[in-house]
């Protein structure tokens, strides 16, 4: 992360506005805004940096905030014997370290994912690329070096954009990503051109490279997310090891053009890019790509809005895998919701196909409890306060799975859900509940990880988005991240009695309203 990304991360983590930070550091709010967006460079030896470090150390006062900051910094500096002065010194050093792009953590990914809005659809004002050549069907063009490769990519996509009928674009590159990322001008134009292609009805099938480090993979997924949300992009990955000697970039638009590059080791700068518009050549490269695609697996399943039955099927299939799991929700987990509560809400909502959804939820709950008999499940949940529940302001997670219109728990339903959590804790030694506070994750996502199986991430704010990540290295990264959050938390990891006591206390307080 560079300075602006670090500042944005800290402000989101502590729910700090530009004006609040400006008052504390005695600078103008517009100055903070520009620093945060990257619109203004950081001045050397700026006096306000020490005050920023002081402010954020004070505001990162919960266990989960500290754990998230440790993860972002890749430095577990917050220990019981660490003084505030020492913490401020290390945080200040991190803010000033712009060797940057060291790491793009799971926490940063979730934070950015949670901020995606309806405007982030991948569509942008049209960008036009000057036509660099006029092509004949018999021609093959050669572009030299990295700059040539970029020029070839722009010519390729410009030829696609000239098509009157939609085509499918096939993209794959396991070369070092520098040729795509190190040129700022290219990075401004290339994503917008892909977005324009999608906007015009062209579909994209992309094979992501998983031999990159986790940071690069998360950055790549994040950069593609706006296009994923259009439903016009299918991401894949090759699940086996590759030799890393022979590398290949291949872009194909059947019937239009292809761009092919082969390089050896880290010598991609020496490789030439070949742009073909000849039909037989393009067909040949299309067959090559398809042969590769048959060896690949879907990398991410993406569901956007109106996904009740499909989402239920995805969750049910996920539940069938018997393995250890970690869940983090911004409320009470859906797996712990008893069937009678689910049906009660269903009946109030007069939901279509209520019987089908009731059956699917019942099957999922049964599978969840069967898994608990053999494997540990860590459930990070948030208990709402009495006033919010009594005033009808608490909504179940994955609410659109249960009802097609906005709704909240009744007091009876919330109490019944709490009682079932207590029952699970008393019945299954493998069930561990961690009580998190509402400051732990701003703009929260619900995350469900099954060890060595996959990750399901759901953002419920508009638009509702669900990602199911299937790739094993990314699954391991999420698994390690959330287990680390639990392990670095001061919340007693095995204090079952404490969790039961707090839950039963809330039940008792709510029971007066029944």
- H-type helices in 39-183, by residue range? 48-59, 63-73, 84-96, 106-114, 145-161, 178-181
Compute the Cα dihedral for 187, 189, 192, 197 and give only its sign.
negative
| In contact, 9 and 36? CB cutoff 8 Å | no
Please name which of 164, 200, 169, 139 lies closest in space to residue 286, comparing C-alpha atoms: 169
For residue 144, what are the β-bridge partners?
Answer: 272
| In contact, 360 and 316? CB cutoff 8 Å | yes
Q: How many CB atoms lie within 10 A of CB 474?
A: 22
Q: What are the distances in angstroms from CA 159 to CA 145, 183, 278, 307? A: 21, 22, 13, 35
Please name which of 304, 315, 323, 322 lies closest in space to residue 342, comparing C-alpha atoms: 315
Question: How is residue 58 written in tokens?
Answer: 């004070």
Cα angle 75, 81, 85; round to 5: 75
290 Cα distance to chain centroid: 28
Q: What are the distances in angstroms from CA 256 to CA 11, 277, 278, 460, 514? A: 47, 6, 8, 40, 68
Q: Which residue has the tokens 């006096």?
A: 47
Q: Where are the beta strands (DSSP E) in 383-496?
A: 431-435, 446-450, 454-459, 465-469
Residues of the chain with pLDDT under 70: 1, 39-46, 74-82, 98-104, 117-138, 211-213, 243-244, 305-309, 350-351, 399-406, 437-444, 487-494
Domains and CATH numbers, the chain: 3-103 (1.10.260), 140-298 (3.30.870.10), 301-511 (3.30.870.10)
The one-character DSSP state at 222 is H
Question: How is residue 491 written in tokens?
Answer: 């919340």
Query: Cis link prior to 463 (omega < 30° from 0)?
Result: yes
Q: Which residues neighbour 335 within 8 Å (Cβ) at sequence distance 6 or greater?
A: 319, 327, 364, 365, 368, 379
Rounded Cα distance, 296 and 290, in Å: 10
3-state secondary structure of 76: coil
3-state secondary structure of 399: helix
Please name which of 345, 306, 318, 309 lies closest in space to residue 457, comparing C-alpha atoms: 318
Q: What are the distances in angstroms from CA 231 to CA 147, 200, 261? A: 31, 13, 28
- H-type helices in 231-353, by residue range? 279-293, 308-319, 339-349
Indicate the length of the chain as a whole number.
514
- Which pLDDT score, from 0 to 100, does residue 102 have? 40
Angle between helices 472-488 and 106-114 (to 10 degrees): 100
204 Cα distance to chain centroid: 20
- Which pLDDT score, from 0 to 100, does residue 321 have? 94
Residue-wise pLDDT tens digits, 144-182 = 888 889 999 999 999 999 999 999 999 999 887 777 777
Question: To the nearest 10°, the Cα dihedral for 278, 279, 283, 285?
Answer: 10
Rounded Cα distance, 464 and 15, in Å: 22
- H-type helices in 350-459, by residue range? 354-372, 386-390, 399-402, 411-427
Please name which of 475, 457, 369, 460 lies closest in space to residue 420, comparing C-alpha atoms: 369
Sheet holding 272-276, edge to edge: 140-144, 272-276, 257-264, 246-253, 168-173, 203-208, 233-237, 297-298
- Which pLDDT score, from 0 to 100, does residue 100 have? 41
- Which pLDDT score, from 0 to 100, does residue 99 have? 43
Q: Which residues neighbour 474 within 8 Å (Cβ) at sequence distance 6 or greater?
A: 210, 214, 217, 218, 221, 455
Q: Which residues neighbour 238 within 8 Å (Cβ) at sequence distance 6 or greater?
A: 207, 209, 210, 292, 295, 296, 297
| In contact, 333 and 379? CB cutoff 8 Å | yes
| In contact, 121 and 78? CB cutoff 8 Å | no
Question: How is residue 435 written in tokens?
Answer: 């009580």
């Amino acid at each position: 992360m560079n300075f602006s990304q670090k500042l944005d991360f800290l402000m989101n983590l502590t729910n700090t506005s530009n004006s609040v930070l400006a008052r504390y550091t005695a600078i103008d709010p517009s100055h903070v805004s520009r620093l945060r967006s990257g619109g203004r460079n950081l001045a050397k030896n700026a006096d306000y940096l020490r005050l920023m470090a002081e402010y954020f150390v004070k505001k990162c006062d919960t266990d989960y905030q500290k754990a998230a900051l440790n993860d972002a910094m890749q430095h577990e500096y917050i220990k019981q014997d660490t003084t505030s002065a020492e913490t401020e010194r290390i945080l200040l050093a991190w803010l000033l370290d712009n060797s940057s792009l060291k790491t793009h953590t799971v926490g940063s990914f979730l934070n950015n994912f949670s901020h995606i809005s309806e405007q982030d659809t991948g569509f942008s004002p049209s960008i036009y690329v000057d036509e660099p050549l006029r092509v004949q069907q018999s021609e093959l063009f050669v572009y030299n070096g990295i700059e040539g490769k970029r020029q070839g990519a722009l010519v390729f996509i410009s030829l696609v954009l000239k098509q009157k009928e939609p085509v499918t674009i096939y993209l794959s590159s396991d070369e070092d990503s520098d040729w795509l990322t190190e040129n700022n001008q290219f990075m401004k134009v290339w994503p917008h051109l892909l977005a324009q292609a999608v906007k015009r009805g062209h579909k994209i099938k992309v094979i992501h490279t998983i031999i990159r480090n986790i940071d690069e993979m998360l950055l790549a997924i994040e950069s593609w997310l706006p296009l994923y949300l259009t439903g016009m992009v299918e991401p894949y990955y090759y699940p086996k090891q590759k030799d890393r000697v022979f590398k290949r970039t291949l872009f194909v638009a059947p019937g239009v053009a292809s761009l092919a590059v082969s390089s050896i080791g880290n010598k991609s700068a020496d490789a030439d890019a070949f742009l073909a518009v000849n039909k037989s050549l393009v067909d040949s490269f299309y067959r090559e790509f398809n042969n590769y695609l048959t060896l690949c697996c879907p990398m991410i399943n993406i569901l956007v809005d109106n996904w009740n039955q499909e989402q239920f099927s995805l969750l049910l299939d996920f539940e069938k895998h018997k393995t250890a799991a970690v869940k983090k929700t911004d409320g009470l987990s859906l797996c712990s919701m008893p069937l009678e509560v689910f049906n009660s809400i269903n009946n109030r909502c007069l939901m279509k196909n209520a019987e089908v959804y009731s059956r699917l939820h019942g099957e999922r709950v049964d599978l969840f409890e069967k898994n608990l008999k053999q494997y540990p499940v860590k459930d990070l949940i948030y208990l709402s306060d009495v006033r919010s529940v009594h005033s009808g302001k608490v909504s179940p997670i994955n609410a659109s799975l249960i009802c097609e219109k906005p709704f909240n728990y009744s007091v009876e339903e919330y109490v019944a859900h709490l009682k079932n959590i207590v029952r699970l804790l008393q019945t299954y030694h493998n069930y561990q509940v961690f009580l998190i506070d509402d400051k732990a994750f701003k703009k929260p996502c619900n995350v469900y990880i099954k060890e060595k199986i996959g990750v399901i991430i759901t953002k419920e704010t508009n638009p509702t988005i669900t990602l199911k990540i299937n790739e094993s290295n990314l699954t391991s990264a999420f698994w390690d991240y959330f287990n680390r959050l639990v392990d670095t938390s001061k919340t007693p990891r095995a204090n079952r009695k404490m969790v039961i006591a707090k839950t039963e206390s809330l039940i008792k307080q709510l029971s007066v309203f029944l």
